[in-house]
Amino acid sequence: MKRRHLTALALATSVLLAQPALAQDNVFKIGLILPMTGQQATTGRQIEAAAKLWMAQNGDTVAGKKVQLIVKDDTSLPDVTRRLAQELVVNDKVNVLAGFGITPSAMAVGPIATQSKTPMVVMAAATSSITEASPYIVRTSFTLPQASVALADWAPKNGIKRVVTLVSDYGPGIDAERFFKDRMLFNGGQVPESLRVPLRNPDFAPFLQKVRDLKPDALFVFVPSGAGAAVMKQFLERGMDKVGIKLIGTGDVTDDDQLNDMGDGAIGVVTSHHYSAYHPSAMNKKFVAEFGKANKGMRPNFMAVGGYDGMRVIYEALKVSKGQGGGDALLAAMKGQIFESPRGPMFIDAQTRDVVQNIYLRRVERKEGQLHNVEFDVVKDVKDPGKAR
């Protein structure tokens, strides 16, 4: 009697315990770690909006599982990113880690992804070496070598032979400086000076003064998303354009999040990048329209497209692996994906887990009353040149 009672109790308890476990099994969790406040907040705002748009368009049930997005603000401090990733893996038991606004944040989480065998989709950070920080990293943003080389091929053919570089002094800036400079020299150009500004609270004024004195044909700039407007403002205030110095750079400087407020001084600036909100494809027009509609007219930038495509890669991997086989099966199904993005065609190289995509040359023009990065040339299917070194 006593024994039967115990068995019944055990059964009842196990049923009770099993219920939340069953419910858990039917949930697929994406831990999205982004800078929602602080200097990189626009990156977080753009990626969160894009991820939510993807889910609104594609539903939240995939392979019979309910997709849950857990957004965490790391304020772009890598120690915070690491702690949040740890909590998401251990407490929330997320299936995928995603986001990562800046390189140090992505680097900080690599070991956690490896240890826990959790796929980690880098949607923003763009230093070449990030994908080597863990075999579980897949990238849907871009790399600075990818973007910089195309501009160094374009410049000398277009009368820009002497260029001073000015970059944010950390991973992506150092990549941009090195790959731009090496390619310029290879093409017979000159880079008489390479300047680096701090990532946090940069003051561009003293550097711009130095550039003015050097009088190059152009100034090549890399600053992270959100800092471009400040560079543009100070460049124009110092009358650099008036003394014949052109501004060129990777598309981070004419960031679609800020471009329309930069004023006519930005017109004519040539940049190279993987995404423009003005990219003339049907898919992009729909993306821009629906993104704006869902976000009070906000224009998506290259961060948004990294987030949107990152969600695509996750959804497709879940579909293909049918939610079976854990992190390794998901990762395998992320590798080699090929699809049309609002940026154009892209694929995830199965060997490097990095994005292969078109790099466009663009010039800022006023179109339908708004400032846009208008594409005028393209280098197709560019692999990250950083991987070959």
Write out the residues near ligand DHB by the rule CB under 6 A.
43, 102-103, 124-127, 171-172, 224-225, 252
Shorter beta-carbon distance to ligand DHB: residue 102 or 211: 102
Q: Which is nearer to ligand DHB, 167 or 334 (CB)?
A: 167
Nearest distance in Å: CB 109, ligand DHB: 13
CB of 103 to ligand DHB, least distance (A): 4
Q: How far is the CB of 210 from ligand DHB (least distance, A)?
A: 23
Closer to ligand DHB by Cβ: residue 224 or 344: 224
Residue 81, token pair as written in the block: 């990113």
**Residue 225 amino acid letter:** S
Q: Closest residue (Cβ) to ligand DHB?
A: 224
The Cα 93–Cα 273 span in angstroms is 36
**Which of residues 153 and 256 has its CB atom nearest to ligand DHB in the complex?**
256
Question: CA-to-CA distance for 194 and 175, rounded, in angstroms?
Answer: 12
- Sequence-ordered list of residues with C-beta below 8 angstroms from that of 268, at least 6 positions apart, any chain: 246, 363, 364
> What are the φ and ψ backbone dihedral angles of 208, each rounded to 5 degrees?
-65, -35
Q: Which is nearer to ligand DHB, 201 or 324 (CB)?
A: 201
The residue among 62 and 120 lying less far from ligand DHB, judged by its C-beta, is 120
CA 13 – CA 15 distance, rounded (Å): 5
Distance CA 114, CA 170 (A): 24
* Residue 98: Cβ within 10 Å count: 28
Across-strand partners of 355? 348
φ, ψ of residue 148 in degrees (nearest 5): -75, -35
Least Cβ distance, residue 381 to ligand DHB (angstroms): 21
CB 306 → ligand DHB: shortest distance, Å? 10
Bin 385: left if φ > 0, else alpha if -120 < ψ < 50, else beta.
alpha
**10 Å Cβ neighbour count for 376?**
12
Find out whether 121 and 97 touch, Cβ atoms under 8 Å: yes
Nearer to ligand DHB, 220 or 315 (CB): 220
